[in-house]
Amino acid sequence: MKLSIERGALLKAVSQAQSVVERRNTIPILANVLIEAEGEHVQFRATDLDIEVVDKTVAQVERAGATTVSAVTLHEIVRKLPDGALVTLSDDAAKGRLTVDAGRSNFSLATLPKEDFPVMASSEYDSNFSAPAPVLRRLFDKSKFAISTEETRYYLNGVYMHIADSDGGQVLRCVATDGHRLARIDADLPDGASDMPGIIVPRKTVGELRKLLEDDDVQIAVSVSETKVR
């Protein structure tokens, strides 16, 4: 695999990936980001087995391929590169190394085989709908403060998102509580969401989703099943 990508685009993708991976884990591959280059795009994938983040962006792909490398280490390197730098990623599968080149800077990182990277099970979704980013941002911002941090009360470690009746109609409602505080916030029901099953969105997932909701002009596509949200 060999590709070139602008530092800003690479930093955005790797930042999202490294925020998902666990710093302390007993499975080495979970500390890595899977990099897949093909055609005119490169895709970055990271998971902690509960959350999976995928970022696909444009790149100059000279040689297609895939590898995995430490997400945190790659993020630290890219973060310190100068703005506007063109970064080249090139892996040597035989040596198990990924080379990062940017101007006079050169780094060599250890890799793990892409085959070791876990694949999240595919799922059929019961409901698919779109909602403006500001709507979802408001739902999470007004409810997340009440999420419990007690791991033994796992059923309170998230935001309960569901369809509820209100004033003769239906709304999209988010509820959170830690046993002392209760947050409840409603939004107009998006088209196509009427058959959405109620789900608990975990605290960490809420935090990661919130990072994707900064752009006011974006419509967010949401897919929900009884066990997954995308």
In angstroms, rounded to a whole number, what is the distance separating the alpha carbons of residues 159 and 148?
10
Residue 153's nearest CA partner among 185, 175, 177, 174 is: 177
DSSP state of 229: B
Residues 6+ away with beta carbon under 8 Å from 70: 31, 32, 33, 109, 110
Let me know: does 96 contact 85? Beta carbons within 8 Å: no
User: Taking all residues of the chain, what is their mean pLDDT, rounded to a whole number?
Assistant: 91
Q: What is the CB-side half-sphere exposure of residue 200 using CA atoms within 13 A?
A: 13
In angstroms, rounded to a whole number, what is the distance separating the alpha carbons of residues 151 and 144?
16
Let me know: does 20 contact 46? Beta carbons within 8 Å: yes
Q: Tell me which residues of the chain have a pLDDT lower than 70.
A: 122
Domain boundaries, the chain: 2-116, 127-224
Pairing between β-strand 65-70 and β-strand 86-92 as defined by DSSP bridges = unpaired
Output the pLDDT for position 97: 95
CATH code for residues 2-116: 3.10.150.10
Let me know: does 229 contact 223? Beta carbons within 8 Å: yes
Answer whether 2-116 and 127-224 agree in fold: yes
CATH code for residues 127-224: 3.10.150.10
Output the pLDDT for position 168: 79
Residue 13's nearest CA partner among 47, 45, 37 is: 45
Output the pLDDT for position 120: 76
